[in-house]
Structures are given as structure tokens and as C-alpha cells.
Amino acid sequence: MFFQHFGSCRFVYNWVLEQKIKTYEQDGKSVSRFTLNTMITKLKEEHEWLKDINSQSLQGATLNLENAFTKFFREKKGFPKFKSRRNPVQSFSVPQFYKMNYDNNKVKLPKIGWINTKIHRRFTGIGKTANVSRTPTGKFYISILVDDEQELPVKPIFNEKVTVGIDVGIKDFAVLSNGEKIENPKYLRHSTKSLAFLQRRLSKKQKGSKNKAKARFAVSKLHEKISNQRHDFQHTLSTKLISENQAVALETLNISGMLKNHCLAQSIVDASWSSFVNKLEYKVEWYGKTILRIGQFEPSTKICNVCGFHNGKLTLADREWKCPDCNTNHNRDINAAINIKKFALNKQNLIGI
């Protein structure tokens, strides 16, 4: 039933995307989500097997496509693509009418019934959408969005003493304005040999064989381990930084542009700065803290944090440098973190608090 829901929602998503593209090409207009939902009823007459699927899950596919188009028009990138059955991650949503049984560790979904689960935690509040997903290693998860009906904490006033500047990097994952350096664990780099071995073994297996499936599972399992290690490290670090400070200052990075440097692309992906920043952004809301951002063109690395001298000759290879004006010896990353903090606390340099 899970796989039937995955396939049916994927089918409806692709069908709706096709209708929107055709309508725009012919009439120059876009079809609304509500019109498409009414068309799904007629689609069920053509494909009887769609009647075995939760109707709200099918309508959730149109909502997902609508959100994809909204993101495309706002950010001007990532035009919605047709979904493939070969995608290792499959999912469908259940907006309502599901039930939780904490005593017996079961969840009931419409059209599917009671399912044995390992419930991560009990929750109180208003249950919203439940999302069922399958990972590349064959694990199934049910994620439930819950409104706990609690107000977010009020953000306190912050000053220089309770603010920390963070300069993310490759050699060190993060350098703080107080001089502390957080070592970069480089989980992908340390697993490169194992990953290359498993991928070579996968490429030699016969297509469609059971051994091919086993080899593919081994590759997926290692990728999942690397991802879990990275998320665990980032969650631990982000919680620590938010708990110890009232405000966090960050530099806005053009990561998509930095990835064009093929010498550093793998290291940048391995560090996953965007994922780390996302964790900081929602945790400051949880704990009532503040996040500050400075522009990506601020010369935080090349300016002396003591006298303000601009060292235009500084290169990426220079890890230490001495200010010719005040004779202060600087560590490149610590100096950048201090400047990020100073720029952020200067109101004229703030970008979206």
C-alpha cells in the first residue's frame, strides 16, 4: 500500500505538471490548484486504481507542485521536474484523519490501516500533515507536523558581550570571534576510499540481478551514515552556539558560485554550510535568540580588526598576516570572525535580522 501511494502520487504530480505546461503553451494561462483537484475526479474514471488511494494524498501532490512553482517564480531557479520512479527517496502526505496509538506503538493511516511503528516521542497539540517517506536504504518514516499552540519566546536585547561572530571554512569548520576553532570532521573525505570501493563493486554487477541490488544497498547505507554523522555534528554545534550566546553573526555566502571552483567543490559540499545555517536559523526562533547577517561582499578577511587597515594583497594561501599599520599579527580566520561580529553589530551593515 505504501508503494501504491508513492506511485499514484507521483503519477498525479506528473500528470498535473503536464497539464500546467500544456495549458500555458496553448492559452498562455496557468491552471489553478483547485481546478486541477476537480480534474483528478475525472482522472480516477480513466484509471480505476487511483480509487484505492487516499484522495487527500493525491490532492497533496497538486499542493506540492504549486509550492514548487511558487519557489521557482520567487527564486528564479529550479523549474519543477517530472518525478521518476527511480528516485531512491519517495514520499506522500496525509493531511488528516490519521490516528496515533502510543500504548501499542501504532499509527493508523486512511486506506492503509494500522501500522506497527517505533514512535520517537509523544506530542501534545494540534496534529497537522503527516508525511510518509522511504529512504534509499529501505527505511520508512512518518513525520507529523504539530502545532503545540505555544508562543515563540521574546527575543532579549543583545550587545557585544553576548554576540558571537562565526566564520565558516574548510580547514576549520567554524572559527568564532572569541578565538575558538571548531575542527572540520570531513566525513565524506574520510569515507572516500570505502565509497569508491563500493561503487566500483556496484558497477561490475549484472544489471537487474540481486547482487546488483545488494551492492546498491551497501552504497546507499554508507551515504546514509555520512549524512547522519554530518547532521549529528551540526545539530550539536548549532545548539551549543545558540545556548551560549544571545546573538549569532554570520556572513552571507554565495555557495552556488563557490561550487564552480572544482578544486574546492567536494570540500564545500562535505562541509554543508547551508544545512548548518538552516539549523541556526530555526533554533534562534525556538530559543528566542537573534541571528545577524552581513553582506557577502564585506571584506571581513582583509581588514585589520584593530586599526581598520585594508590588506588588498591578501590571498587564499595566506593563513597568517601582519598589519603594516599597527603591527598586529592576525590569524586569517579569527580576524574574519571578529570583523563579521563588528560589521553585524553596526546597524548600517545588517541584512535582515
Domain map of the chain by residue range? 2-75, 90-147, 160-349
Out of 66, 270, 298, 333, the active site residue is 333
pTM (global) more than 0.75: yes
How does 123-137 read in b/e, with b if 16+ C-beta sit within 10 Å? eeeeeebbbbbbbbb
**What whole-number distance in Å separates Cα of residue 265 and Cα of residue 42?**
48
Contact 303, 325 (CB under 8 A): no
Assess whether 103 carries a catalytic annotation: no
Q: What is the pLDDT of residue 16?
A: 94
Q: What is the DSSP letter of 157?
A: P
**What whole-number distance in Å separates Cα of residue 264 and Cα of residue 258?**
8
**What whole-number distance in Å separates Cα of residue 163 and Cα of residue 149?**
30
Q: What is the DSSP letter of 161?
A: G
Beta strands 172-176 and 181-183 are: antiparallel
Beta strands 113-116 and 126-134 are: unpaired
Out of 167, 244, 281, 318, the active site residue is 167
Q: What is the pLDDT of residue 353?
A: 38
Assess whether 167 carries a catalytic annotation: yes
Q: What is the pLDDT of residue 142?
A: 95
352: left (phi over 0), alpha (psi -120 to 50) or beta: left
The total number of residues written for the chain in this structure = 353
Q: Please name which of 114, 109, 151, 148 lies closest in space to residue 130, comparing C-alpha atoms.
A: 109
The helix-helix angle for 273-287 and 210-244 (nearest 10°) equals 50
Q: Please name which of 186, 190, 266 lies closest in space to residue 230, comparing C-alpha atoms.
A: 186
Q: Is 85 helix (H, G, I), strand (E, B) or coil?
A: coil
**What whole-number distance in Å separates Cα of residue 33 and Cα of residue 36?**
5
**What whole-number distance in Å separates Cα of residue 135 and Cα of residue 220?**
9
Q: What is the DSSP letter of 155?
A: P
Assess whether 151 carries a catalytic annotation: no
Q: What is the pLDDT of residue 351?
A: 44
Element (H, E) at 78: none
Out of 103, 224, 251, 281, the active site residue is 251
Beta strands 99-101 and 172-176 are: unpaired
The helix-helix angle for 55-75 and 2-27 (nearest 10°) equals 50
Cα distances (Å, whole numbers) of residue 231 to 165, 228, 272: 22, 5, 9
Mean pLDDT per block of 10 residues along the chain (353 residues) reads 95 94 87 88 92 93 91 86 91 93 94 94 89 94 91 87 91 91 94 95 94 94 96 96 92 86 89 93 92 85 85 81 85 88 71 41
Beta bridge partners of 144: 130
Q: What is the pLDDT of residue 156?
A: 84
Q: What is the pLDDT of residue 347?
A: 57
The helix-helix angle for 33-46 and 55-75 (nearest 10°) equals 140
